[in-house]
């Protein structure tokens, strides 16, 4: 119950101050014209928690998600590539799709809302589709 309350508080804080967080991320990377500019997503992210069906899941070992500048990406578990995907980012949405779909993939083939938020610890990326959210950071 405590984790659920913290999640609601986190989501409320994200939705309250959209404009100032956009400015903060642009200051971090001034070559981008928008907060969700493609350059903000390039690189390696860690995913230590997800939200689905009213519950937050915290991972003991955080998988790494890499978004390459050629529109490909992968999910790494225990140092090895577990899943490879293709992606496109157009404000404010991120489309992830696989060449060989599998029902057990981490990110189902779909369109996600991509929310960037700069914090003192770094940049947070929240990918949301319907009632499912993925929390990435770097």
- What does the pLDDT read at residue 15? 52
CA-angle at 100, arms to 60 and 43, nearest 5° = 50
Other C-beta atoms closer than 10 Å to the C-beta of 118 total 20
- At residue 21, does pLDDT exceed 50? no
pLDDT of res. 18: 44
Task: Give the mean pLDDT of the chain.
Answer: 76
Q: How confident is the model at residue 33 (pLDDT cuts 50, 70, 90)?
A: very low
Break the chain into its structural domains and give their ranges: 2-137
Fold of 2-137: Lipocalin (2.40.128)
Number of other residues whose CB lies within 10 A of the CB of residue 100: 7
User: In percent, how much of the chain has pLDDT > 70?
Assistant: 71
pLDDT at 20 over 50: no
| Residue 44 scores a pLDDT above 90 | yes
Q: What are the contacts of 39-42 at 24+ separation with CB within 8 A? A: 40/116, 40/123, 41/67, 41/89, 41/94, 41/114, 41/125, 42/67, 42/68, 42/69
Residue 65 buriedness (CB in 10 A; 0-12 / 13-18 / 19+): buried
The pLDDT of 34-54, averaged and rounded, is 81
The three-class DSSP label of residue 89 is: strand
Task: Please name which of 94, 131, 96 lies closest in space to residue 116, comparing C-alpha atoms.
Answer: 94
Task: Give the Cα separation of 95 and 107 in Å (integer).
Answer: 10
Instruction: Express each pLDDT in 49-93 by its tens digit.
Output: 999 999 999 999 999 999 999 999 999 988 788 889 999 988 778
């Amino acid at each position: 119950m405590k984790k659920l309350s913290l999640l609601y508080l986190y989501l409320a804080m994200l939705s309250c101050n959209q404009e100032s967080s956009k400015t903060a991320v642009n200051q971090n990377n001034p070559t981008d014209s928008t907060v969700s500019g493609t350059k903000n997503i390039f690189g390696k992210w860690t995913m230590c928690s997800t939200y689905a069906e009213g519950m937050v899941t915290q991972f003991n070992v955080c998988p790494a998600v890499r978004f390459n500048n050629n529109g490909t990406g992968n999910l790494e578990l225990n140092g090895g590539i577990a899943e490879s995907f293709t992606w496109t980012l157009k404000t404010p949405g991120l489309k992830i799709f696989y060449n060989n779909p599998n029902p057990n993939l981490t990110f189902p083939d779909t369109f996600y809302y991509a929310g960037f938020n700069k914090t003192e610890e770094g940049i947070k990326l929240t990918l949301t589709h319907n009632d499912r959210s993925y929390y990435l950071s770097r």
